[in-house]
Amino acid sequence: MIRLSHINKIYRTAEVETTALRDLNFQMHSGEFVAFMGPSGCGKSTFLNILGTLDRPSSGEYWLGERDVTLLSEAQLLDLRKTTIGFIFQNFNLINDINVFDNVALALRYHRNISTQERKHRVTEALERMKVSHRARHLPQQLSGGQQQRVAIARAVVTRPKLLLADEPTGNLDSETGEDVMRLLSELNQTGTAIVIVTHSDAHAECADRIIRMLDGVILSENTKEFA
């Protein structure tokens, strides 16, 4: 599903050059669950942004399916994000002045081939799946942190993406709520959604099939879960 080959990412200013990723290679199959770990500043979020096509590598190849993503135009990348990739962020990134239902529906706004009836069905289905349908008409600030993250996950999956990217999705949650969110992600993975998560939590990383540790823009180690 995914193949990154010799990926480098360099940020340059007038006086400073910073290498965020160094000759990184990564492969992932459809339906896998992969966790990335490492200290702050090691390149995890940069890697996730490149996976999500929010940033471009300075050099290297990124194949998503049969397409070399590094060769796509901005319009093509936007279309790819709309149809293939879902995002979950640590800070939820919900719009505070519209209700939960409309926050989730926004993810379908530019899908012109989806009817109004189908849009409503998908949003309702996503909210029910995340067990927050009873909060559909509430504003985000009227919800707990855990409920807001559930809404954010509903928004990410309402487009039915093949790949879900989660950047510290439990970072602003207490331990019990964080475990609940990880259970939801595991359930999504079991239905076929490929997931890449960035986390500082060893316990949450254990939910993944593979755990990859990074330092200074390189992959240090990779552990694959052994199934009985």
What pLDDT score was predicted for residue 228?
37
> Do the domain assignments include residue 36?
yes
What pLDDT score was predicted for residue 226?
59
> Do the domain assignments include residue 113?
no
Mean pLDDT on 84-113 = 92
What pLDDT score was predicted for residue 227?
46
> Do the domain assignments include residue 173?
yes
Mean pLDDT on 140-168 = 95
> Do the domain assignments include residue 13?
yes
The label of the residue with tokens 């669950």 reads: 33
What DSSP assignment string belongs to 64-96? ETTEEGGG--HHHHHHHHHHHEEEEETT----T
> Do the domain assignments include residue 142?
no
> Do the domain assignments include residue 212?
yes
Percent of the chain with pLDDT over 90: 86
What pLDDT score was predicted for residue 172?
87
What pLDDT score was predicted for residue 111?
82
**pLDDT, averaged across the chain:** 93
> Do the domain assignments include residue 53?
yes
Instruction: Using pLDDT thresholds of 50, 70 and 90, give the confidence band for residue 112.
Output: confident
Sheet with 194-198, side-by-side order of all strands: 85-89, 163-167, 194-198, 33-37, 210-215, 218-224
Percent of the chain with pLDDT over 70: 99
Interval 192-224: pLDDT, tens:
999 999 999 999 999 999 999 999 999 999 988
| Cα 117 from chain centre | 27
What DSSP assignment string belongs to 130-141? TT-GGGTTS-GG
How many angstroms separate the Cα of 123 from the Cα of each of 73, 108, 221? 30, 9, 39
d(C-alpha 168, C-alpha 4), whole Å: 22
What pLDDT score was predicted for residue 61?
95
Q: How many domains does the chain have?
A: 1
Q: Within a 10 A sphere around the Cβ of 135, how many other Cβ atoms? A: 21
Q: What is the domain extent for residue 91?
A: 2-95+160-224
| Cα 132 from chain centre | 20
Residue 64 contacts residue 71 (beta carbons within 8 Å): no
> Do the domain assignments include residue 102?
no
Q: Which of 197, 104, 198 is nearest to 159 (CA)?
A: 104
User: Where residue 172 sits, what CATH number does that domain have?
Assistant: 3.40.50.300
